[in-house]
């Protein structure tokens, strides 16, 4: 099922048990039905890119889902979204680029002024400009056949100029996702390597250790 570029209020009146491919791209969706997963339980590929979704919890329970594209939505909390990702046990492809993730994880507060919202827009290079702003063209820029090699080159250049604090934040963000989705083979424009997984998990654990130490020190100071 493919619905693109048409503003709709999504309602699934009955289950679609045979549906394996579903695309609601650029449909101006702001919310998903709470019973979304039960209505499309066998979907394998889901594209919800270029909408205005803030909450993906209705995806919980899509245990057969292998590819999920959520490019350019408004997901604001990775901490909350992690619970949903944990339930997607077969997920192999995930794209969460270009989201205002204002609440990634408590540990990110160690590296920024708390009044500033960390955003994944700052984790990656911007989408290259193109004459057409049609969402199909935009989508091909980040997921097309030649996109991976082009993205890898641009992303490497972008990382070279990234401040250390943002680099750690990005690696911890990736570590959170890798931990939640151990079957991932492709994430945010790049193939997932063992080295990337190990590095992300290492940074995440080290930062969690720092958070634990800070909390312990605060408890000790209060006790005095």
Domains of the chain listed by start with CATH number:
2-223 (3.80.10)
Q: What is the mean pLDDT of the chain?
A: 78
At 170-200, the pLDDT tens digits run: 888 888 899 999 999 999 888 899 999 999 8
At 126-164, the pLDDT tens digits run: 765 554 455 555 555 455 666 777 888 888 888 888 888
pTM summary value: 0.78
Cα distance between residue 101 and residue 123, in whole Å: 11
Cα distance between residue 167 and residue 171, in whole Å: 6
Query: What secondary structure letter does DSSP report for 25?
Result: E
């Amino acid at each position: 099922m493919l619905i693109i570029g048409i503003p709709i209020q999504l309602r699934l009146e009955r289950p679609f048990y045979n549906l394996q491919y579903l695309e609601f791209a650029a449909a101006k969706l702001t919310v998903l039905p709470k019973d979304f997963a039960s209505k499309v339980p066998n979907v394998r590929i889901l594209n919800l890119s270029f909408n205005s979704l803030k909450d993906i919890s209705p995806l919980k329970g899509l245990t057969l889902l292998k590819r999920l594209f959520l490019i350019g939505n408004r997901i604001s909390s990775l901490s909350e979204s992690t619970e949903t990702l944990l339930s997607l046990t077969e997920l192999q492809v995930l794209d969460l680029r270009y989201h205002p993730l204002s609440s990634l994880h408590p540990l990110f507060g160690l590296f920024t002024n708390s009044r500033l919202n960390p955003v994944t827009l700052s984790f990656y290079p911007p989408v290259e400009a193109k004459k057409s702003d049609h969402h199909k063209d935009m989508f091909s820029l980040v997921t097309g056949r030649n996109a991976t090699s082009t993205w890898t080159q641009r992303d490497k250049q972008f990382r070279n100029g990234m401040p250390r604090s943002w680099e750690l934040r990005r690696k911890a963000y990736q570590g959170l996702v890798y931990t939640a989705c151990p079957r991932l083979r492709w994430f945010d424009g790049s193939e997932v390597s063992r080295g990337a997984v190990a590095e992300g998990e290492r940074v995440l654990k080290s930062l969690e250790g720092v958070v634990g130490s800070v909390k312990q020190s605060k408890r000790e100071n209060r006790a005095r």
